Amino acid sequence: MKACQPALFWLSVFFGPILGHCVDPATRYEFRQAHDPNGIGKFYMGREIARVMGHEAADWLERPEREEEERAELLIQSLKVRPGEVIADIGVGTGYHARRLAPKVGPSGRIYGVDVQPEMLALLTNKMAELTITNVIPVLGTITNPNLPAASIDLALMVDVYHEFSHPFEMMEAICRSLKPGGRVVFVEFRAEDPKVPIKAVHKMSEAQVKKEMAVQPLEWVETSTVLPWQHVIVFRKPPHLK
Ligand SMILES: C[S@@+](CC[C@H](N)C(=O)[O-])C[C@H]1O[C@@H](n2cnc3c(N)ncnc32)[C@H](O)[C@@H]1O
């Protein structure tokens, strides 16, 4: 991504969020001293980025009450995944969703389980071995790139992850490159609009904020579902004519 031309500098300062594609990478993010203790003090389009959930807290991802709170089975059903599809579960954690997606894509499909913490990938690998699941492939990503093959993914799923990306713009650029034309990106985020959802503020996102941040990416919004008790399911796709 090229930096803005000098003549566009002041425009980018005032209209940066709208002109996301040409905002100088140096000014894309804002840093504030006063910020939420659960955030990293780095802001993107007015939103504070949350701290990454460390692998030490991985048990929380496997809590018994999770199915009742998040209805993962219902989520997977609503995604209407087909046999043979290639899915990227980005920020895979312990593989809570990957293990449910694996039988849906079957032996001719595969799930790339991407994470930036090698310890999470070790937990994922152990869990898949325990369940004799062989079509989940662990991938070590970086904070700017999930390291996925270009134009190869039917569905990129991020459950409770996107708000933690330290470089959301760069991550989404790379994710879009990895999508097949017409491929989907699904954000599952705790609803910021609902004060009754008992999750820390920087770990929630509003639908409007997700849409604002995706407006600078080569994606089109498809639908938002509120079928889950606490989370939005926000679906975008890469336009079919884009390579
Ligand atoms: C709250 S956990 C959610 C895990 C899983 N999606 C689930 O719902 O069980 C967030 C995960 O995202 C990972 N993560 C954060 N930033 C990432 C990035 N840039 N690329 C890939 N994974 C990332 C963290 O390491 C962590 O495992």
pLDDT in tens, 65-114: 999 999 999 999 999 999 999 999 999 999 999 999 999 999 999 999 99
Residue range 174-185: average pLDDT?
A: 98
pLDDT at residue 243 in the model: 85
pLDDT in tens, 2-36: 333 344 333 443 444 444 444 457 789 999 999 99
pLDDT at residue 105 in the model: 98
120 C-alpha vs ligand 1 centroid, how far in Å? Answer: 9
Query: Are the C-beta atoms of 106 and 85 separated by less than 8 Å?
Result: no
- pTM score > 0.85 for this model? yes
181 C-alpha vs ligand 1 centroid, how far in Å? Answer: 25
Domain-by-domain residue ranges, the chain? 51-237
Query: Are the C-beta atoms of 18 and 25 separated by less than 8 Å?
Result: no
Longest Cα separation, the chain:
58
Residue nearest to atom 24 of ligand 1 (CA): 91
Residue range 53-65: average pLDDT?
A: 97
207 C-alpha vs ligand 1 centroid, how far in Å? Answer: 19
Residue nearest to atom 8 of ligand 1 (CA): 159
138 lines ligand 1 (CB under 6 A): no
Q: What is the CATH number of domain 51-237?
A: 3.40.50.150
Query: Are the C-beta atoms of 153 and 87 separated by less than 8 Å?
Result: yes
Q: From edge to edge, which strands make up the β-sheet containing 30-31?
A: 30-31, 39-44, 47-50
